Amino acid sequence: MNSYFEIRDLKVSFKTFEGVKRVIDLDSLDINKGETFGLVGESGTGKSVLAMTILRLLPMPPAIIESGQIFFDGEELLSKKEDELRKFRGRRIAMIFQDPMSTLNPVFTVGEQMIRVIVNNEGISRKEAEKKALQMVELVKLPDPKEVLKKYPHELSGGQRQRVIIAIALSCGAEFLIADEPTRNLDVTIQAGILKLLHELQKEFKMTTLFIANNLGLVSAICNRVGIFYKGKIVEVGTVREIIRSHKHPYTETLLNAVPRDGGGNIIVPKLLSNESGPESNNGCSYYDRCPLRDKICKEANPPLRNVTGTHYVACHKAE
């Protein structure tokens, strides 16, 4: 193992009334220490399921982790017991969820929730936890931090709540951050502020970040490398420059076309994508039913990730 974070041969399914449905079928994913890796795909592709699998937060059943390994700093996570995982959650690996309102408890003040997290994870006194909570609120640049700690979640705006979630995620010194579409329900102006904050915190704390989004415009502003995710698989991966300017997979082209541009062709405004698709192919490429370049071989054989150049890989029979 060479990478700081690695996933190998991960297969995750769900039990449904129609039978067992495969949601994640990921051969490999590598993230280097200190980098921000973007995982991009439309809604319903399994991005959040992957994030929850990393921290073992999926309800089992109906979820089933059929096979695979997840390595973090040399330690395999999927084989660990629940009490062992608690040493990683919050302390070493933290997660920012999509909806801050559902993440925060509406019956407790923001300060009380932050203090409880810090006390439980760091084992310090309540007085020390109060000081640290105040420091973290100041760190995420919320005005009048003492008043913020006294407020309930519903008294804060969406952007303020998301900053509180970021403060909680970083309050216990996590070195690996999973940001699951942290700007999804925010307007464009607030999105820019949250992205800038995450970028500054990543540089300051030298965190490794898995940034999940459904918009390539977002990841191009904050990430070092990007993986294009479709139906539980990475179909293309490379640096931001390689993906934006030299992409090879038809699905990547679809994602790029879904983002509005200005007169000079530059990506400007985030836009959510639909998840319309035809029936899934059993043996061939997962994108077969929607691909304008599909051929007979695409239906018969699932393409593996192949190196294009440098760090650029693509899983497509027609990429050449």
Q: How far apart are the first and last CA of the chain?
A: 30
- Check whether the bond before 250 is cis (ω within 30° of 0): no
Among 282, 177, 217, 227, residue whose Cα is nearest residue 30? 227
pLDDT of 45: 84
The residue type of 306 is R
**What's the average model confidence in pLDDT over 118-123?**
80
DSSP sequence for 47-95: HHHHHHHHTT-S-TTTEEEEEEEEEETTEESTTS-HHHHTTTBTTTEEE
Q: Fold for domain 5-92+173-314?
A: Rossmann fold (3.40.50)
**Tens-place pLDDT, residues 30-85:** 999 888 899 988 888 888 889 888 888 888 788 888 888 899 888 888 888 888 88
Supply the pTM of this predicted model. 0.78
